[in-house]
Amino acid sequence: MKCNLWKAPITGALAVGLCAGTMLTAFADSIQCRGSDTVLPLAQAWAEAYMKKHPGSSISVSGGGSGVGIAGLINGTTDVANASRPMKSSEKDKCKAKNFLPIEHKGALDGLSIIVHPDNPVKSLTVEQVGAMFTGKITNWKEVGGPDERLVAAARQSSSGTYGFFQDNVMKGGKYKNCQHLPSTNAICQVVSRSKGGVGYVGLAYARKWEGKVKSVPVAKSKGATPVTASEKTVQDHTYPIWRYLYCYTAGKPKGLAANYLKFAQSPEGQALVQKVGYISLQ
């Protein structure tokens, strides 16, 4: 997923490892990490910290979307594919056709915040109501107790893992309708911050980054249930209903620099960075 906030790739001096099954970078001892816009700021933080500890390493990080990262892993242009959703069966089949098995590495937990314009008076929504806003069943805020304001739904493009996760878990498989499909999470925040009728979905780190310009709305699992605000605690204890894991995928068991980088990401030091960036650690 592309994101203006964390767009620039990270590079350094040369490293000492090679990701398993790939010969894709200009130098055999550097790696390419590509994919999820949601994971991007976290992957950058991991890469920066790792290269500071190991000055001879070179880790490049970029976005484009979970689907883009996984496609890169399949075609051999990406060493570590960052994803905000599990790999699809069809993608796993493509990996097998390339004679490797993808290995999943969990990196963090995340809550998907539902954001609106700061002036929107709506105090809470249900998962069903949120889903209906993106399938076109709800088109005006007065339908959920808000003002007579046309609803402007801001969603990601289909290459985004968040697009698919939201469709499966909030829209319950429904089709997107009457939505603006945007190239980055940053773009969703921009649209919602400028439109009084705006609504969008973003990872916790983005909701915190844009706090004051957008507002997170508490979400109830069902009608009559208690609305819950997305936070570290409510995602960890799963009381917030819209949560997920964030992943890294490799082509087979990682080796060299890729293995060391992922080991660092899952270490106490790497998980402390998860908290610092604004997501929730696995520990």
Q: Please spell the DSSP secondary structure of the chain, one letter per residue.
A: ---GGG-S----S--S---TT---SSSTT-EEEEE-TTTHHHHHHHHHHHHHH-TT--EEEE-S-HHHHHHHHHHTS-SEEEESSPPPHHHHHHHHHTT--EEEEEEEEEEEEEEE-TT-----EEHHHHHHHHHTS--BGGGGTS-S-B-EEEEE-TT-HHHHHHHHHTSTTPPP-SEEEES-HHHHHHHHHH-TTEEEEEEHHHHHHTBTTBEEPPEESSTTSPPB---HHHHHTT-SSSEEEEEEEEESS--HHHHHHHHHHTSHHHHHHHHHHTSB---
User: Is pLDDT of 19 > 70?
Assistant: no
Closest CA relative to residue 125, chosen from 151, 102, 162: 151
Q: Convert the pLDDT of each residue in 140-191 to its tens digit.
A: 999 999 999 999 999 999 999 999 999 999 999 999 999 999 999 999 999 9
d(CA 99, CA 23): 15
Mean pLDDT across 252-263? 98
Chain mean pLDDT for the chain:
91
Share of the chain above pLDDT 70, in %: 90
Mean pLDDT across 223-233? 96
Share of the chain above pLDDT 90, in %: 87
User: Is pLDDT of 139 > 70?
Assistant: yes
User: Is pLDDT of 37 > 60?
Assistant: yes
Residue 17: its pLDDT value, please?
34
Q: The whole model's pTM is what?
A: 0.81
- Side chain identity, residue 43: A
Q: Convert the pLDDT of each residue in 82-134 to its tens digit.
A: 999 999 999 999 999 999 999 999 999 999 999 999 999 999 999 999 999 99
Domains of the chain: 4-109+246-277 (3.40.190.10), 110-243 (3.40.190.10)
User: Is pLDDT of 12 > 50?
Assistant: no
Q: Convert the pLDDT of each residue in 53-91 to its tens digit.
A: 999 999 999 999 999 999 999 999 999 999 999 999 999
Mean pLDDT across 24-29? 50
Residue 16: its pLDDT value, please?
32
User: What's the pLDDT band for 29 if we cut at 50, 70, 90?
Assistant: confident
